[in-house]
Structure 1
């Protein structure tokens, strides 16, 4: 009986063992927790976050789908890292995937990781030398300036101190190439923007209409001062030019109606005809902008207010040409606009005695201004008109020992003093009646403004030019003249060669 019991017990044990192999215990449910498990947000400075990984699986691993977001693993710790972001754009969102597994059994969880853009650092253009209507840029980047001040904000003789600009937004009026200026905004009375390369632009403060506008100038060649025999320190290139290179249309720069602060582009080609127009410019949407003219038939728009609100309109004096050569309405000429209302005054020696001071309409950058009328008197033998090239104080560019048209290349290289020369290109002019670049010929005619009014004589609205020359007339006939001291109608738009304040 005992033997029978033991035999039955063995049989039962074998059955139980067989059943255990056919029906093993189920594996535990995979578990994986991350602490913290919330999205990770890095600042631009970067940093690291340690995440504790807890799992009942045999092993775990992690990976990031963005190279900027790196990871390190050690035991039950996952470290998520980000280096400093020096760009002005946020990094693309990263996903860190943590996977735990035992054999073919696995579980995954994800962490979303972001990093903010670097905070933009704006160079203050109006700090140091002060505010102006033109800001000179020397490298691409982010800039800002005080957009509450008109020009230099100064009260000068004949002009009271200007009121503050009260804009509510800012915009690109025009730019010399597409996408030159971007990210324009008005914040707390300051205009901020980014400039990507060399060129010219006009940016305005807006409140329904343009309240004031500023010229942004980033030339290819460094702006420097050259000593002139007259004692002035003269800019080495035209205001708004890209370069001072001889025979290059980029040397032409901008053109200005006398007393106005806003520039008009000269021709984009070295030579032209009476139908040549200014270089192509673009608005903030990269659409072409046309420099237009005001009415030829009436003068309701011939006011300072209209000029300020419409920096892309050249104002015509056509309907008042017989009485005034000014772009302002006849009888409302203002001799003080560029800061030298008595600039035609002379001392006992018959020398111009009044130099003036920079006004808030002056178009030159901070530290520079439009010159008085006596800056270039030494550029001809007589100090006045000259019709013989040998009487021009020019440099022998050709090196043949004689002064001739061989030394002319869309402008003359004048001797500023015994050791200094400077190229003055023939950028032509906007005709004051048609208020268009037509009427003069690029490459053949050059005209430069002073800050001084020209005595009335036969008509109102004249101003002194400090330099004018031509080598041919509109019909292509040789007509060689140079004058460092003459007059012109203020509605004409001439070049400006600034001097040091």
Structure 2
């Protein structure tokens, strides 16, 4: 089944980034225009009783000052025309305006005079689904933070539904049922452990408490037996139920017992039926626990659709697919000329890289380091902004960074259709001051592979995905991935991390787009990228231009805020604070880090908090490249197959193509000759781009005693498992976790 992971407007906080000032402080009242943006669920309505999922009406508005004290209450009854509200608010800086839509003009908002914190703690009793969807609408919540300057302020507010939608598709498909003389009759389905209380604002990490009221939705009889050709379906709306992460390793182990504490309150779908074998019938009950994945996650969060595909295969087997769909319909505050698009894969899970479709957005928790794995420490940023970005020098690649303490949303422009790369940073101080606490790579691309999907590919195969392909290589590749995950064939991306394009045949001479396949460069073990060679000159190579927050001011190399190259080694804490600084080595063993650490990228066994790949992907381990022999991995010089090239023939279109036939039919994976940043000891070229248009190399996550293993090649030879300095900077190609 195709797994879709799209993100819907999870930010309910400030709509201002570090580049946006608070504006003048007013001292009087004035009219302020707010555009309320609920996004759009955009899926076919399957509920018998229509619920207007995108509707905005009956809005309670509460204003608070900089200290969180209550200032004003306004109620706008009826439908919100064109999603815009014109409000007479009190002017002032650092104001917070709370919007609660689809609620009555009564308690707890009318007459409220508490603090902002007390407002965010308000709840609503929802005895059943009808109470949650009263009036055919879903309650929504959003906040604006910033200056209110009467007649001057015009802002957008992202509204999030304070409920989740569950779409269940189910069928019975028992293999060889007739031969085995078995059958299964599904009698009913039911949703259990549904909270009967709802928080208007985003609640705590675990919510509601186990002591709160929970109930079950009514049993739904199954009148017609579902088959693969005629599947059954059911839709529910539920309050969110955040229960945390369990300890199961397999989907069959995801039970209440695998989550402690709170497993007894986790929401699940119950399917009841009769299993018959050899003339004997027994009742069978399947419990399918909800969450972001079928194994560990037990969280049902607001503003999310959980698409469940359940195929009953036998008495102890349900082939289960759970897809959290967070749909998007984004506009940057104050910007009306950008089209809206859907969001990217992988954004629901923490990572150091997020893939975002041009014109869309990604929302994540900025308090989490990397993928939140072993060694991750909590951080508490006070601001966020763009550190650097690629672009055209006219339009910013990143339109805005909206930040709240527990959520950040990064908006990508649609005006740079090819996409590009950026790094956003979280700071210890307000307005992007103080130390950088962590940073994230934003890969703006229409390439959308699914890191969680089993593509079912054999050797030397590919599958088409949105914007490109995913690949497998030969026998040794398969052996390497099965050594880690014996039950599944992992796939690898068709391009370098950060690349705007993939080639499946060699680029021809003077192909102007060849540098789009270069991607980014990484020092081994670091999570943050550096800009790659621009592909223009092979004798005096320079990286692609990068820009500051506004996308117009070019950052000068070795300037305070530009791409810096200075001697190391340094500590991990140092590189976290300086993601755009390349540290070259001045002594053996030519590492940027002291003390050395072999596990920064997992050392071939898993993903670490410093892994630069998106969620569901990791840096490829050693042995992945072992199928790349001369006969299937030839060198091309400006489109011509040649293994006798000279350094003077270096060019941006040079590189090697992995293919399974001389004609290039079947799988084709292009590996450009990007060169690399030299970071080793005792060389006058420290920090410089070298061997561009001639040599190429790819990191593995595997370390040796002092160095690391990598695959490299030039015009005449291939080294499939060499050793090199960790301080060099090379491309990465990501494989599924």
* TM-score, normalised by the number of residues in structure 1: 0.63
Q: In the aligned structure 1, how far is the partner of 2:532 from the partner of 2:388?
A: 14
Q: In the aligned structure 2, how far is the partner of 1:400 from the partner of 1:410?
A: 9
Q: In the aligned structure 1, how far is the partner of 2:640 from the partner of 2:534?
A: 31
Q: 1:180 to 1:90 in 2, by over 3 A?
A: farther
Q: Is residue 203 of structure 1 aligned with residue 424 of structure 2?
A: yes
Gaps of at least 5 residues in structure 1 are 1-37, 48-80, 92-111, 156-160, 341-354, 382-390, 472-479
- How far is 1:324 from its partner? 1.0
Q: Which residue of 1 aligns with 2:597?
A: 334
Q: Is residue 164 of structure 1 aligned with residue 367 of structure 2?
A: no
Q: In the aligned structure 2, how far is the partner of 1:470 from the partner of 1:42?
A: 58
Q: Which residue of 2 aligns with 1:487?
A: 723
Q: Any conservation in 1 of the 2:361–2:412 contact (CA below 8 Å)? A: yes
Q: Any conservation in 2 of the 1:129–1:367 contact (CA below 8 Å)? A: no
Q: 1:129 to 1:435 in 2, by over 3 A?
A: farther
Determine which structure has greater relative contact order: mean sequence separation of CA pairs < 8 Å that are 6+ residues apart, divided by chain length: 1
* Residue correspondence of structure 1 range 31-430 to structure 2 within 5 A: 83-85=81-83, 119-120=157-158, 130-155=349-374, 161-177=375-391, 178=393, 179-197=396-414, 198-207=419-428, 208-219=434-445, 221=447, 222-229=467-474, 230-231=477-478, 232-245=490-503, 246=507, 248-269=514-535, 271-273=537-539, 275-285=540-550, 286-289=552-555, 290=557, 291-296=562-567, 299=568, 302-317=570-585, 319-320=586-587, 323-329=588-594, 332-340=595-603, 355-380=604-629, 391=631, 393-394=633-634, 409-415=653-659, 419-430=666-677
Q: In the aligned structure 2, how far is the partner of 1:400 from the partner of 1:269?
A: 18
Superposition CA RMSD, Å: 3.8
Secondary structure class of the residue paired with 1:282: coil
Q: 1:265 to 1:396 in 2, by over 3 A?
A: closer
Rg bigger for which structure? Answer: 1
Q: 1:187 to 1:432 in 2, by over 3 A?
A: same
Q: Which residue of 1 aligns with 2:203?
A: none
Alignment size in residue pairs: 359
Q: In the aligned structure 2, how far is the partner of 1:126 from the partner of 1:190?
A: 18
Secondary structure class of the residue paired with 2:440: strand
1:92-130: CA deviation from partner (whole Å, max 9, x where unpaired): xxxxxxxxxxxxxxxxxxxx9999755336958797751
Q: In the aligned structure 1, how far is the partner of 2:379 from the partner of 2:685?
A: 28
* TM-score, normalised by the number of residues in structure 2: 0.44
Q: In the aligned structure 1, how far is the partner of 2:622 from the partner of 2:410?
A: 36
Q: 1:119 to 1:127 in 2, by over 3 A?
A: farther
